[in-house]
Amino acid sequence: MVWSAADLLWSLTKYRPLTVFESICANLLLVLIASQAITPIHNLIKGNQFPTKGKHVYVTGGSVGLGRAVAIELAKQGAHVTIVARKEGPLKETIELMKQALAGQKGKDRDTTRQQFHWISADVTDREQSIRALDEASANFGGKVPDIIMTCAGTSIPKLFLEANIEEFESQMKLNYFGGLYTVHEATKRMVETGVKGKIVMTASTMGLIGFAGYSSYSPTKFAIRGLVECLRNEFQMYGIGIHIYYPGTMFSPGYENENLTKPLITREIEGSSGLTSEQAAKGMFAGLRKGNFGVTTDFDTNFLRIAGRGVTPMSNIGWDYLLGLIAPFGATSFLWEINAKVKNYGKKMVKKDL
C-alpha cells in the first residue's frame, strides 16, 4: 500500500514494497533533501539580506587583521566606512588600502556616489572615548548614526589557567566584551531614538562555542558576546534592528602571531594548524551575512559546534542544521574524549619533567 512520497517513488521501481522502518528512513531522507533545496531557493528569492552599498558602516578594530579586511571588503562593496582603533599609523594604512581596493574595482561595481572613508583614533575599552568616536563618525554624515556597526576589535593571550595573571583576564574581558558593548549600546540607543533600522555584527570566535586548555582567559569573553547577542536578537525585534554574530576560527593575522608567543603546547595540539587569512574570513563573513544567517561561520568545525550548541537561535540551513544536529552528540562526545586524553597525557609529561 502506497502511503507516503517515498513509498510512491519506490513503487515505480517495481521492487518489493518498503518495510515500515525502510519507509520511515526513506521519508526522512526525502525531507532532508527537500530542506537542503529550500534554503538556497529562499535565499535566492529574498536576495542580499545585508546590503552595504551606500551605507555608512562603522568598524572597530579596523586598523589590522579582520577589521582591516572587513573595511577593505566594504570599500569594494560601495559602502562609506569609518574605522576606529587606537594607533593612527595602521589606521591611515588601512584607508590607503581601501582606496587602492576601490580603484581596482571595475566600473560596474563601483558606487556612483562619492564614497567616504574616515578613521578615528580611540580606545574602545574606554566608554567616553567610544562615545566620542561615534560622535565624530556621525558628524561626518550630518549627525546621523551609522547604518551598520561591526565590532572587530579583540585580543587573545592564551595561557594555562594557573600561568595567567588576573590582569590578563581583566584586560581581555575589557577589550573583547566591554569594548564591543560600549559601542553597541550607544549606537543602538541612537538608532532607536532616530528611528534607524540598522544592523549590528559582533565578532565572537570558535572559542565562544567551546572551551579547552589554554583559553580560560579568552573563551569566557567570547561566550559573553554570544550571550549578549542572543539576548539582543530577541529584544531588537521591538525596534526592527538586525543583529548577527560571527564565529571565526583560526585567522593568520598579526594577532595570531602574538598569540603564539604565549600559547601552550597542549593548546596548539588541540586546535591544530589549519585556518584562514583575515581576507578569507572577511569574505566568508559577508557571504553568510548576505544570506541573512544569524550565526555566521566560515569553517566546518566551527559550524558543527554552532549546530551542536545552537540552543534557541535561528538556523542557517534547515536541512544541514537538522542533519548535523543528529550527528552532533556523537561527534561532540568523540571530541571530548580526544581532548581529555590529550590534556591528561600532557599533564603526565609535565609531572615527569618536574621530577
Residues labelled catalytic: 218, 222
Distance CA 303, CA 325 (A): 11
3-class DSSP state for residue 202? strand
> Which cell is 190 given?
541612537
Residue whose entry in the numeric block shows the C-alpha cell 526513506 = 26
> Which cell is 354 given?
618536574
Nearest one of 202, 206, 196 to 276, comparing CA atoms: 206
Which H/E stretch holds residue 250? Answer: none
- What CA–CA distances, in Å, run from 74 to 51, 180, 205, 279? 10, 19, 21, 12
| Residue 35 near residue 60, CB atoms below 8 Å | no
How buried is residue 45: exposed, middle or buried, by Cβ count under 10 Å (0-12/13-18/19+)? exposed
Alpha helix stretches (DSSP H) within the chain: 5-11, 20-46, 65-76, 88-103, 127-139, 166-172, 179-194, 219-235, 254-259, 265-271, 278-290, 300-308, 318-354
Q: What is the DSSP letter of 16?
A: P
Nearest one of 172, 166, 165 to 218, comparing CA atoms: 172
Cβ neighbours around 115 below 10 Å, total: 18
Distance CA 180, CA 192 (A): 18
Q: What angle do CA 332, 333, 337 make, to 5 degrees?
A: 115
| Residue 245 near residue 204, CB atoms below 8 Å | yes
